[in-house]
Amino acid sequence: MMDYNLKKSSYTVAFLLFSLLSFQAFSQKEPQYTQYMYNIGSFNPAYVGTVETPELSGLYRAQWIDIPGAPRTFRFGANLPFKNEKVGIGLNIISDQLGPVSQTYADISYSYQVMVTDETKLSFGIDAGGSFLNVDFTKGTFENPGEDLNGEMLSKFYPTVGAGAFLYSDNWYLGASVPNFLTEGVYNDEVASIVEDKLQFNLIGGYVFDLSDNLKFKPAFLINTLKGSPVNVNLSSNFLISDVFTAGVSYRIENAFSGLAGLQVSNSLFVGYSYDYNTNLLGEFNNGSHEIILKFYLGREGAKSTKDGNDKNAKGKPKQIDSPRFF
């Protein structure tokens, strides 16, 4: 059994706590995000292609600062809509580190959209890819002196296939997805002893309220369910000021409070930041979690989309800055 070289005995307790309290660990595909409203394409392939112009995004999350071996996550995503406004493709790459275990996910998404009404579209998506699993047994010491695993490495690959649906209009959206259906009968015993992947279901939604010409209120939620784990509920509310500055709060029930801030630096660049403070026992052993995201909107150097959405070519394509899908 592995025991990390922690500087304080309390950190050992904290490490055990986050192993018990964390919803993610390595029993699910998706790492945990606070700014989930900017990362829908990470866990729902139907989201790709629902934007006006191509976009690239990069995210870094440092979780539970001061706890050795705590999760570190990097994500790169690409969202490429087709000119016919019916098809989209996407690329999703995630690197997740937890103690001696690292996983790199990569998948390609495809979506197809249909008009439900003049103002509403329904997108169906599927993604396929795989996960590269690496375990470095040199990172740590062992309680059993006869169990000499120093110098040993475990490297495995397993496939993933997911699907989702995304219903949206000018001022609301609702999405559901399963990141990976291949959770049983795929892995050998060696992989299963470290990655206990189970079927996960995600439900996300949001709405935008125009409080005034320069102020919008954007509540959103994300619910994750995983067999054998508590339901993970995320609630957030953001205010968008003058289509430039975003400020809000988020609450992960029985887990953490978060503060969020964002800045639309230009028509082509958005920067977002969040800080989490744990409300469970784990909060006594760490200094919170930090998360930053950059979103690049390609081909948007010109004027912003029309506010009232009179452009017929944009019907069913809410403008990106005002869309609740982004806040």
**Per-residue model confidence as pLDDT tens digits over 25-35:** 444 446 789 99
Q: Which residue has the higher pLDDT, 269 or 13?
A: 269
User: pLDDT of 138-190, one tens digit each?
Assistant: 766 555 555 555 557 788 898 999 999 999 998 999 999 999 998 764 445 55
Instruction: Supply the pLDDT for residue 197.
Output: 61
What are the residue boundaries of the structural domains of the chain, listed by start? Answer: 2-326
User: pLDDT of 254-309, one tens digit each?
Assistant: 889 999 999 999 999 999 999 999 988 777 778 889 999 999 999 876 544 444 44
Please provide the average confidence, as pLDDT, over all residues in the chain: 81
Cα 327 from Cα 307, distance rounded (Å): 17
| DSSP category for residue 312 | G
Cα 217 from Cα 213, distance rounded (Å): 12
User: What's the pTM value of the predicted model, to 2 decimals?
Assistant: 0.82
Cα 235 from Cα 252, distance rounded (Å): 6
Instruction: Supply the pLDDT for residue 148.
Output: 54
Evaluate whether 267 touches 300 at the Cβ level (below 8 Å). yes
User: pLDDT of 203-232, one tens digit each?
Assistant: 999 999 999 999 999 999 999 998 778 899
Q: What is the length of the chain?
A: 327
Instruction: Supply the pLDDT for residue 126.
Output: 98
Please name every residue paired with 73 in a beta bridge, in sequence order, or none if there are none.
61, 96
| DSSP category for residue 117 | S
| 47 phi, psi to nearest 5 deg | -75, -30
Instruction: Supply the pLDDT for residue 301.
Output: 62
- Count of helices and strands (H, E) across the chain: 3, 17
C-beta atoms surrounding 275 within 10 Å = 16
CATH architecture of structural domain 2-326: Beta Barrel (2.40)
In degrees to the nearest 10, what's the CA dihedral of 286, 133, 182, 112? 80
